[in-house]
Amino acid sequence: MLTIDGIDKIYPNGTHALGGVSLAVEQGEILAIVGGSGCGKSTLLRLAAGLDTPTRGTIAVDGTIIDRPHPAVGIVFQEPRLLPWLSVADNIGFGLADVPKAERRDRVERVLARIGLADYGTRWPRELSGGQAQRVAIARALVTQPKVLLLDEPFSALDAFTRASLQDALLALWDAQKPTLVIVTHDVDEAIVLGDRVVVMEPHPGRIFSTIGVDLPRPRDRLSDAFVAAQRRVLRALDGSLGAPESDRKRAEADAGAAMWW
């Protein structure tokens, strides 16, 4: 279980990126985070990955405090960030340096097959399309079998078709390993396709505006009434989170509402 407890993040330049964020994500749950720009979504993920330290509060995975990168937490960035001097297979195996060679090759091959790139192990990253490269990045993060996988707008640079196919690929990988997924996105559809819950954040400082449960069976039909209804709820919450004049009042309500969630 990923526990985020009373997190504040104030950068040295005075930017108040996060103000009192608390969240608990169950093992195997998929949590989607949406919100306007500047509401601290990416900051929250960087803190959870141990790449930054919070000014106040703690982040823990199954009771272990995360204050630096930890093997239980993997992260996929907006860009694939593959190492261009390593083959695709070596990129995926990058985090498995301590694993015996034969087992490493085995695990890399298995995950390559699962992302539909079985024959691509010996290619260079430059030979991959954007969607393929991002699949490899997801495979690299999951091959070490983290308990929590964080994804920071992983599909935002891709076209709609590729994005849908990668969402399916991600769900397939998740289904095989059942890690906790936390995915930051600015695509409401994506949040509802993937998430068990959708957290809507508001800016200045970044905090949770409301949380919307998405109780739909997978695979989810984007055209079903229930899907559209969930979409509408998230969009309404997003509207509210950005409505600056009333935001204080709404936040009070949202806090009351959020309190019922945990």
Partner 1 sequence: MTATLDTDTAVSSVPVRADEVRRRRGFSLFGLAIGLAVPLALALLWEAAVRLGLAPGRLMPPPSRIALTLYDLAVGGSLLMHVTATTARVAAGFALGVVAGTLFGALAGYSGTMRQLLDPTLQGLRAVPSIAWVPLFILWLGIFEESKIALIAVGVFFPVYLGVLGAILSVDRKIVEVGRVYRLSGPAMVRRILLPAILPEFIIAVRSGLGLGWMFVVAAEFMGASEGLGFLLVDGQQLGKPDQIIASILIFAVLGKLSDAILVAASAPLLRWQDGFAARR
Closest CA to 199 of 12, 21, 6: 21
Q: Which stretch binds partner 1 (CB under 8 A): 5-13, 35-43, 99-107, 118-126?
A: 118-126
> Judged by CB under 8 A, which of 31, 108, 128, 199 binds partner 1?
128
> Judged by CB under 8 A, which of 71, 213, 243, 257 binds partner 1?
71
Q: Which stretch binds partner 1 (CB under 8 A): 24-32, 116-124, 208-216, 243-251?
A: 116-124
> Judged by CB under 8 A, which of 4, 139, 169, 198 binds partner 1?
169
SS3 141: helix
Token output for 181: 């997924």
Q: Which is nearer to partner 1, 84 or 245 (CB)?
A: 84
Q: Which stretch binds partner 1 (CB under 8 A): 31-39, 55-63, 122-130, 253-261?
A: 122-130
Give 81-117 as a DSSP string: ---TTS-HHHHHGGGGTTS-HHHHHHHHHHHHHHTT-
Q: Which is nearer to partner 1, 88 or 234 (CB)?
A: 88
Looking only at residues 85 through 114 of this chain, which bind partner 1 when binding is defined by CB under 8 A? Answer: 85-86, 94-95, 97
Angle in degrees, CA 138, 28, 52, rounded to 5 = 60
Q: Where do runs of H (alpha helix) occur along the chain? A: 41-48, 88-92, 101-114, 130-142, 160-177, 188-194, 225-242, 247-259
> Judged by CB under 8 A, which of 26, 168, 239, 246 binds partner 1?
168
Closest CA to 34 of 138, 156, 166: 156
* Cα 216 to Cα 232: distance, rounded to the nearest angstrom: 15
Tell me the number of residues near partner 1 by CB under 8 A. Answer: 38
User: Contact residues for partner 1 (CB under 8 A)?
Assistant: 49, 51, 68-71, 74-75, 77, 79, 81, 83-86, 94-95, 97, 115-117, 120, 123-129, 131-132, 161-162, 164-165, 168-169, 172
